[in-house]
Structure formats: structure tokens, C-alpha cells
Amino acid sequence: MSLREVKQLRTRQALAEAAADLFRRKGFDATTIADVAAAAEVGTRTLFRYFASKEDLLFPDHDDRVQAAVRTIEASAPSERPAEVLLRALAQAESDDDIVSGMTALRLRLMREHPAVRGKALQLYSDAQLEISRALANAFPDRFDTLTAAALTGAFAGAVQGVLCALIQDRADVDDPAEYRAIVDRATRTALAPWLAETFPSSAL
């Protein structure tokens, strides 16, 4: 990375961290864009170069994670099982740092409490699923069409989101990345069991 890119990354991280701290202490509605910019020691114009809205501050690395998942799918071998490739690729979309820092818990709590945050999350997740499913269909053209690739991707994404919601609701004490990964892995492999066993018709696999 160039020096400019490093500075941009640091600014982006500082803004996201400042926003998370303010959301926890003051509340989402009471925190303004100006508050976040001041806490990160930048101007509001600088903030808007990195984030289009207050809701976007809760998803600072979303695009990078989606692209990492897509690159993993694109690099897969035709002989691999698509479901295994998807499990490996979408692991890129989760961050241990988010769990340890509490960002995952904060994000899901605000999704439950604020329709605007929930709407932003649904939009981002929907767009990501579509992009990843297209990459999967392109990587395995003899085994998937667009619809079956979307079904497989949706099964995985639904399992992850279900686990996250249950963890926040019932297991708020889970903050160890290894334990979290194990829980998510069990849930997603359960959801994808038919795909992993490849019991679907050959035209869909």
C-alpha cells in the first residue's frame, strides 16, 4: 500500500471507531455526523468522502470483505465442491476484530432498534449475496445457474444471520473468536448439509 492509502485506511478506521464509541455512549439517534467527525479529528467533508451516511459507519469494511469472498471463489478449482468453496469464501466476510471489539453486537442491536440501520443492513447483505452468487455461477457454470447459485448463497447467509441474532439475544458472553467461528461453522454446515453431500440433481450441482 502507498503512504496515501495507509493514511486513508487509518482515517476510515478512526471514523468507524469514533462512531461506534459515540453510538454506545450517546445512542444512535443522538449522535450526529458532526460529532463523529469531531471525535475522529477530521471535518465533515472528509467524513463524507468515506461514508455516505451515519448508517454506513456501522459497516466500514463491507465492500472489502465481499471482494475478498469473490476473489476466493474466482480462484477455486473446477473440481472442488461448490458448497465447500462458498464456506471458505464467505469466511472472509466475518471479522474476528468485530467480535472482540463488540462491533458485531453493537451492529445487531442497532439493527433491531433502528429501522434505518436495519434497512441499510438488508440492502448491503442483499447486494452482497447477489454478487457472490454470480461469482459462484461463473466459477461453476456446468453445475449452477443463477437461481441455484443464489439459493446456495442464501442458505449460507441466512444461517450466519440466524446464529448472530441468537448469539446476541441468548449468548452475549461469546466474545472468543475461536468459539464464535466454531458455532457459526456448525450452523452453516447444518444449513448446507444437502449441498455438501451433493444430493441435489446434477444440473444444480
Per-residue pLDDT at 197: 73
Q: In this predicted structure, what is the pLDDT of residue 198?
A: 61
Q: Do residues 48 and 68 both lie within one domain?
A: no
Q: Are residues 124 and 179 in the same domain?
A: yes
Confidence (pLDDT) at 22: 97
Are 72 and 170 found together in one domain?
Answer: yes
One domain for residues 25 and 98: no
Domain of residue 49 covers 3-53
Q: Are residues 86 and 37 in the same domain?
A: no
Residues 136 and 198 in one domain: yes
Give the percent of the chain with pLDDT over 70: 83
> In whole angstroms, what is the distance from residue 99 CA to residue 105 CA?
7
Q: What's the CATH code of the domain at 19?
A: 1.10.10.60
Q: What is the pLDDT of residues 81-119, one digit of tens each?
A: 888 888 888 776 666 566 656 787 788 889 888 999 989
Q: How many distinct structural domains can be found in the chain?
A: 2
Q: Do 76 and 149 reside in the same domain of the chain?
A: yes
Which pLDDT value is given to residue 40? 96
Q: Are 196 and 85 in contact (CB under 8 A)?
A: no
- In DSSP notation, the chain reads --HHHHHHHHHHHHHHHHHHHHHHHH-TTT--HHHHHHHTTS-HHHHHHH-SSTGGGG-TTHHHHHHHHHHHHHT--TTS-HHHHHHHHHGGG--HHHHHHTHHHHHHHHHHH-HHHHHHHHHHHHHHHHHHHHHHHHH-TTT--HHHHHHHHHHHHHHHHHHHHHHHHH-TT---HHHHHHHHHHHHHHHTHHHHHT-S-GGG-
Percent of the chain's residues with pLDDT above 90: 38
Question: For 26-53, how does the pLDDT look when each residue is reduced to its tens digit (9 = 90+)?
Answer: 999 999 999 999 999 999 999 999 999 9
Residues 37, 104 within the same domain = no
Question: In terms of domains, do 22 and 72 share one?
Answer: no
For the cut 80, the answer to whether the pLDDT of residue 201 exceeds it is: no
Confidence of residue 202 (pLDDT cuts 50, 70, 90): very low
Last residue of a domain, one of 13, 34, 53: 53
Looking at residue 19, its pLDDT comes to 97
pLDDT surpassing 60 at residue 199: no
Average pLDDT across the chain, whole number: 83
Looking at the fold, whether 78 and 103 belong to one and the same domain comes out as: yes
Q: What does the pLDDT average to over 167-184?
A: 65
Question: Of 46-50, 172-176, 198-202, which has the strongest mean pLDDT?
Answer: 46-50
Q: Tell me: the pLDDT tens digits for 133-142?
A: 999 999 999 8
